[in-house]
Amino acid sequence: GENVEQHPSTLSVQEGDSAVIKCTYSDSASNYFPWYKQELGKGPQLIIDIRSNVGEKKDQRIAVTLNKTAKHFSLHITETQPEDSAVYFCALNSGNTPLVFGKGTRLSVIA
């Protein structure tokens, strides 16, 4: 089945700096790429997503880029704040398959 590699597994940034998390995949049929934020003891929260016909999408301080040729997509968080600290998961699906998740990135924003 499809496999998603997510890097890095942990990331520490100073408040106000940017954070970038990258995921790579192998199935060229993948066409939907969401990102989830999971805080301790809570369910994953969808924060942004992108579909295969778009190369970039931005929502305030969060952006996602997709390179279908190279089969990777990235989450960019600018002007990080302490409340951005959480575990972030990339995911994808292709056609009728369920979501496949990366293994998560623990982001710590240091005030």
Partner 1 sequence: GEEVAQTPKHLVRGEGQKAKLYCAPIKGHSYVFWYQQVLKNEFKFLISFQNENVFDETGMPKERFSAKCLPNSPCSLEIQATKLEDSAVYFCASSQSFRGDEQFFGPGTRLTVL
Q: Footprint of partner 1 on this chain (CB under 8 A)? A: 31-32, 34, 36, 42-46, 49, 51, 87, 89, 91, 93, 95-101, 103-104
Least gap, CB of 62 to partner 1 (angstroms): 15
Cα distances (angstroms) measured from residue 83 to each of 5, 24, 101, 111: 25, 26, 23, 10
Q: How far apart are CA 95 and CA 108, in angstroms?
A: 34
DSSP state string for 44-66? -EEEEEEETT-SEEEETTEEEEE
Closer residue to partner 1 (CB): 25 or 36: 36
Whole-number minimum distance, CB 24 to partner 1, in Å? 17
Closest to partner 1 by CB, 24 vs 31, is 31
Shortest distance in whole angstroms from residue 16 CB to partner 1 = 27
> 73 or 89, CB closer to partner 1?
89
How much of the chain is helix, strand and coil, in % rounded to 5? 5, 55, 40
Q: Which CB sits closer to partner 1, 43 or 60? A: 43
